[in-house]
Structure 1
Amino acid sequence: MTNVVLLLSFVVTLSHIPILFADSLQDYREQGIVDWFNPKVTVQIKNSMDGGEHITFHCKSMDKNLGTHTLGPGQFFEWKFRPSIFGAATRFFCNIRWRRYSVDFDAWVSSSESSPCKMCLWDVTKDLIIGPDRYVHWK
């Protein structure tokens, strides 16, 4: 009789575990194992110019061309991607133009020496382009 009571208690306890952890597991269920193992990266370029200035930029990687875009003051453009986990490194590079100035820079590069950002914000100002942990001067 004791074994039956213990077995029933064990079964009832096991049946409540999914209920107890349902909220915390919901995020994992919605994201899936790929998001947990290799989450998406977001890169955003924002026009932080004052005085009504527009900027034009073109960003691409080796296998994805994001096209040419023009942003007015306060506007931004962003894209999301999963970095490559096999083989070649993932790299997005951009060219930004404003008036007679133009600058090329790496917006995101995977590297074994550093841990790249997961939310990478680039602010374009009249003085320079400010990104995560670095800045780029106009040329």
Structure 2
Amino acid sequence: MSNQIKRKKLKNNTTTDINKIIKTVIQSEDTSVLPNDNYISIKDEYVQPLIEVIIKNLKSVSTHEKIRLLRIVKLLLNKIKILKNIESINNNLLENVIDYKKLMFLKGKILYMKNCLINEENEPENVRD
């Protein structure tokens, strides 16, 4: 089954199905079936492992796919930021999700990688080493 067909099928899934998809992606380390949106509804315990799987796969995918994966990581980082801003969340739960400083470091690293990719595409062929 091609990746496009998989993505079309995944767009029709409900919130409970998105968690099943994320769990499968984490276990198989195959990011090709990730949907492009609806990451606010995933379980908090899947955020950190999903970010780690995405970062691990960034080296082996095309530039277009890297940009798509970076957008997904940005959505996940926004989910963590929303969780940080909610005062009623238990501190123990928040510590189990992800260390905020590590998260900001990853965000900076991802933005740097995205910038490098964009600059690499704009650079003429004869300039590259």
Q: Provide TM-score, normalisation by structure 2.
A: 0.21
Higher helix share: 2
